[in-house]
C-alpha cells in the first residue's frame, strides 16, 4: 500500500511530529511504502537547516532526513508556507525540497492512503 503524509504541526509544539514519525516507521516496518511527506503550515519548521536540538534530546529533524534517505521518501516543504514564515531555499535542510500545492495534490491522487497530522 502507498502512503502519503501531511504534517502541519511544528516539530516541538506538541507530540504530533513524533507521532507522525513513529507512524511512518511502522508503515515501513509493515512493508508498505511512503512516497511523499508534505510539510505544511508550521510543519515547515522541520526543514530548517540550522535547527540543533540539545545532544541529549531526540532530533526529529535528523530522524526525518535519515528515514527519507533510507526509504526513498520525498520530503516536500510548502513554498508558500515557508515564505510566509521566513524559510528561504538556502536555509532548507538537506533531504528536504521546496514545492507547491501541486505536489500535495499529486500525493493525494497517487496514494492509497493520505494521512494528515496536526
Catalytic (active site) residue 25: no
Query: DSSP per residue over 40-91, as a string?
Result: -GGGGGGGBTT----TTS--HHHHHHHHHHHHT-EEEEEHHHHHHTT--GGG
**Of these residues, 78, 92, 93, 104, which one is catalytic?**
78
Q: How far apart are CA 21 and CA 27, in angstroms?
A: 10
Q: Which residues are catalytic?
A: 78
Amino acid at each position: 500500500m502507498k502512503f502519503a503524509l501531511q504534517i502541519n504541526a511544528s516539530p516541538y509544539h506538541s507530540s504530533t511530529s513524533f507521532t507522525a514519525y513513529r507512524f511512518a516507521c511502522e508503515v515501513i516496518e509493515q512493508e508498505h511504502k511512503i512516497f511523499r511527506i508534505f510539510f505544511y503550515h508550521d510543519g515547515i519548521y522541520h526543514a530548517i537547516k540550522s535547527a540543533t536540538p540539545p545532544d541529549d534530546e531526540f532530533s526529529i529533524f535528523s530522524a526525518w532526513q535519515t528515514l527519507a534517505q533510507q526509504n526513498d521518501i520525498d520530503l516536500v516543504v510548502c513554498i508558500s508556507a515557508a515564505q510566509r514564515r521566513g524559510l528561504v531555499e538556502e536555509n532548507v535542510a538537506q533531504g528536504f525540497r521546496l514545492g507547491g500545492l501541486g505536489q500535495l495534490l499529486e500525493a493525494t491522487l497517487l496514494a492509497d492512503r493520505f494521512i494528515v497530522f496536526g
